[in-house]
Structure 1
């Protein structure tokens, strides 16, 4: 019985030893992870992702590093600006292990060291910046912090990707002063906008009046031009009509019987005008030649003959 118990114990011990040996020998490294291997207490190599065989009890995994981007919350810190204003700043730091060997042996705790370095660097950068600039130039401040951190963390095998200011806390007195300043600035902008609007409105009104005067003068000018052209056209048409009438009368006189018709027409007009003269006045002076109407008509007829072409 005792012999069986001893064999069982030996078998169990051997099985446990085999399991331990297998565990110590075979290692599977996950993706985006590196194992730092030490052989007899000294750095041997760095294992990338995949399956690897180690020498039992000689090789061991000393450090495990993730190659993924890490996010570290930088605790709130009190900084003094260039114009001697205390502000509380919270930040977020993004970094990545690029050299597992340096990250293992270059520094004891790169996360803590990076967080502390970010705080001290932020104090230095804020100390060179006015309070107003801390709000306006956050991107520039972040870039300066990243640049300083990246240079300091390079021996640690760490790449600082970016730093972001998550919050800036101000004293209550400074908040009140800033609110008053912003309120005054908004009122100033509103007054300027109102004055600019009134100025533009006055300019628009004056431009409208100017354009109206120009339009009226242009309209009056066109009216005068049109009236002048109308009168000129009227005179031209009257002259053309008069000339055409005289021409037709002259042609009619040259036709047979034309002279007798003219003589008759002159006699009728003579008598008519003499009759109108008698109607207009009670007292009338009668010319001595009134009795000789035929002689007057004959005289006019002779004048027409002389004026006719050829004197016939």
Structure 2
């Protein structure tokens, strides 16, 4: 009787599985009052027929009539998927292995729905992996590994749902390829890196040339604006100087005119004219060594007389 409670397992080569499935068929003695541990489900048969699933806590069973047939762990477990070969869409041979994470959500289906859940899930994962890899090229397998994992999980869940087992996630652990393909991919990676380096270098030279040209342009614009501003300021200054000089001469002429119209104005004008006349001859001596001057210019009286004669003629014309 006891020997029939422990059912044989069908093991497959290379499988390193969780102890959860190994303890699935182990007989647990019915002691009338039974304490079911947390995260476990005990499947009970009454006289050879399914009776109920015991929940964690205290449970009372009838010895001899009720028998604990299966003990299911409700914890998440990891199963190693052995390495297997797969051919990609572009005919590249790959060898992949992975880890599958499972959890029992229905103890009844997990006990009666499949003979060897571990073996069935492992085979299903291997065949699904080969099928999904065959739909993708080599570059897509490397680039879209997450998508591949999701596709495998989806396919396993569709098939394992009647068994009361849920596949939570699948992770590809290792991926091997022929040495020739690996060398070709290495050369491709190196070529791509050199290409990116050359592109970055050329972009750097281009940006440097653009920055230099923009700098020269801004420098010339600023210099031209500075020169324009300088010329405008100089022109404004010159115009202001001419205006001020004209105003000064106007004021001087008005002052002289008022002074001449007063008493003894003729004498003052004669004196000023004589001084200007003498100063002019003095300046001629500084600018050149050769001069042509009127006769008698060396006598101050004669010079003054000539200046007054000029002033008298101007006054007569004015009157």
Alignment deviations for residues 26-73 of structure 1 (CA, whole Å, 9 cap, x no partner): 110000110001000000001110011100100010000111111111
Q: 2 CA distance for matches of 1:135 and 1:188?
A: 21
After superposition, the Cα gap between the structure-2 partners of 1:210 and 1:230, relative to the gap in structure 1 and judged at 3 Å, is same
Structure 2 counterpart of 1:281: 292
Count of aligned residue pairs for this structure pair: 281
Query: Shift of the alpha carbon at 1:221?
Result: 1.2
Structure 2 counterpart of 1:180: 187
Query: Shift of the alpha carbon at 1:265?
Result: 3.5
After superposition, the Cα gap between the structure-2 partners of 1:205 and 1:266, relative to the gap in structure 1 and judged at 3 Å, is closer
After superposition, the Cα gap between the structure-2 partners of 1:56 and 1:276, relative to the gap in structure 1 and judged at 3 Å, is closer
Q: 2 CA distance for matches of 1:213 and 1:303?
A: 60
Q: Select the residue among 225, 235, 245 that pairs with 2:242.
A: 235
2:43–2:52: 8 Å Cα contact kept in structure 1?
yes
Query: Shift of the alpha carbon at 1:210?
Result: 1.5
Query: Shift of the alpha carbon at 1:229?
Result: 1.3
More helix by share: 1
Q: 1 CA distance for matches of 2:192 and 2:277?
A: 100
SS of the residue corresponding to residue 189 of structure 2 reads helix
State the TM-score, normalizing by the size of structure 1: 0.82
SS of the residue corresponding to residue 55 of structure 1 reads coil
Query: Shift of the alpha carbon at 1:254?
Result: 3.2
Q: Which moved more, 1:259-268 or 1:178-187?
A: 259-268
Alignment deviations for residues 181-229 of structure 1 (CA, whole Å, 9 cap, x no partner): 1111111111111111111111122112222221221222122112111
2:30–2:61: 8 Å Cα contact kept in structure 1?
no
Q: Which moved more, 1:209-218 or 1:112-121?
A: 209-218
Q: Select the residue among 40, 43, 46 that pairs with 1:39.
A: 46
Q: Select the residue among 206, 212, 222 that pairs with 2:213.
A: 206
1:263–1:301: 8 Å Cα contact kept in structure 2?
no
SS of the residue corresponding to residue 242 of structure 1 reads helix
Query: Shift of the alpha carbon at 1:255?
Result: 3.1
SS of the residue corresponding to residue 217 of structure 2 reads helix
Structure 2 counterpart of 1:95: 102
SS of the residue corresponding to residue 280 of structure 1 reads coil
1:66 matched to 2:81: no
Which structure is larger by alpha-carbon Rg, 1 or 2? 1
Q: Which moved more, 1:70-79 or 1:108-117?
A: 108-117
Q: Which moved more, 1:206-215 or 1:75-84?
A: 206-215
SS of the residue corresponding to residue 90 of structure 2 reads coil
SS of the residue corresponding to residue 193 of structure 2 reads helix
State the TM-score, normalizing by the size of structure 2: 0.80
Q: 1 CA distance for matches of 2:159 and 2:34?
A: 34
Query: Shift of the alpha carbon at 1:244?
Result: 1.5
1:263–1:298: 8 Å Cα contact kept in structure 2?
no
Q: 2 CA distance for matches of 1:71 and 1:272?
A: 120
Q: Which moved more, 1:220-229 or 1:159-168?
A: 220-229
Consecutive unaligned residues in structure 2, runs of 5 or more? 1-28, 285-289
Query: Shift of the alpha carbon at 1:123?
Result: 0.2
Consecutive unaligned residues in structure 1, runs of 5 or more? 1-21, 307-312
Structure 2 counterpart of 1:131: 138
Structure 1 counterpart of 2:178: 171
